């Protein structure tokens, strides 16, 4: 079975937030909340500055603390693509997963359950890319099976330099940023 992941080219991303709006529309994300967001990171000392713009979301971690801490099994690893999902009618809204995620990827939906990026599993089932990937005007996002060495994502990871977010948290994130 596939192990789905995302590869995002920070050299192409301009931070237009199309991915954020596409996600909110596609997934009916309640007003004022977001499942993906843009982070701008500036490093260095003037005039030697570097900037990285990133579209961030749940990393569908291989070692997901949010799944381990969940008392009901509502947060779980879905067999489809080994993605991390929340079953809303099993969630008690204890917020342990919000505290456990080092990326702030989760929020409490106003209806009471924990909510976050699903990698648009409903679209993946129809053979489509997640909404954010499909709308990106710079085509900086790629989505596919990390276990398939011939997939676009695997080829990019094999040929370019990349990093993940907070690798020191030991979560083994599956959203990769090309540099």
Partner 1 sequence: MLELTTTRHNPLVDPSLHVWGWEIPVYLFVGGIVAGMMIIAGIAMLRLAKGEDPRGFFSVQTPLLGFMLLNVGMLALLLDLAHKLYVWAVYLTLEPLSPMSWGSWVLLVVYGVLLVSALIRLPDAWPWLGARVPALARVSDWLLARPALIRALAWVNIVLGVMLGVYTGILLNTMVARPLWNTTILPVLFLVSGLSAAAAMMHLATRIFPGRPAPKGLVGGALAAMVQNLGPQPPEKRTGDALVRADIGFLAVELLLIGILVIGLLSSTASHAAAAELVLGGPYTLVFWGGVVAVGILVPLVLQWLELGHRIPHTVLPAVLVLAGGFALRWVMVNAGQASQIVQAAGLH
Binding site for ligand SF4 (CB under 6 A): 58-61, 64-66, 69-72, 74-75, 84, 86, 91-97, 101, 103, 105-106, 114, 116, 171
Q: Which is nearer to ligand SF4, 14 or 92 (CB)?
A: 92
Q: How many residues does the chain have?
A: 179
104 interface partner picked from partner 1, ligand SF4, none, CB below 5 to 8 A per type: partner 1
Question: By CB under 8 A, is residue 168 in contact with partner 1?
Answer: yes
Question: By CB under 8 A, is residue 14 in contact with partner 1?
Answer: no
How distant, in Å, are the alpha carbons of 10, 18, 36, 105, 158 from that of 135?
16, 7, 14, 21, 25
Residue 75: φ, ψ to 5°: -80, 120
Reduce the DSSP state of residue 123 to 3 states and report it.
Answer: helix
Binding mask 37-66 for partner 1 (x = CB under 8 A): xxxxxxxxx----x-x---x--------x-
Query: Nearest Cα to 100, choosing from 110, 88, 86, 112?
Result: 86
């Amino acid at each position: 079975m596939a192990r789905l992941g995302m590869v995002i080219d920070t050299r192409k991303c301009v931070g237009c937030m199309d991915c954020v709006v596409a996600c909110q529309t596609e997934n009916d994300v309640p007003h004022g909340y977001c499942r993906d967001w843009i982070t701008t990171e500036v490093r260095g000392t003037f005039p030697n500055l570097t900037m990285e713009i990133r579209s961030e979301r749940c990393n569908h971690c291989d070692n997901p603390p949010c799944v381990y801490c969940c008392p009901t099994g509502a947060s779980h690893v879905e067999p489809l693509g080994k993605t991390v999902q929340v079953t809303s009618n099993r969630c008690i809204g204890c917020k342990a997963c919000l505290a456990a995620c080092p990326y702030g990827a989760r929020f409490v939906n106003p209806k009471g359950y924990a909510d976050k990026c699903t990698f648009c599993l409903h679209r993946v089932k129809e053979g489509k890319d997640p909404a954010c990937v499909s709308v990106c005007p710079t085509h900086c996002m790629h989505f596919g099976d990390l276990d398939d060495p011939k997939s676009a994502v695997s080829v990019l990871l094999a040929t370019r330099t990349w990093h993940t977010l907070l690798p020191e948290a030991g979560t083994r994130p599956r959203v990769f940023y090309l540099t």
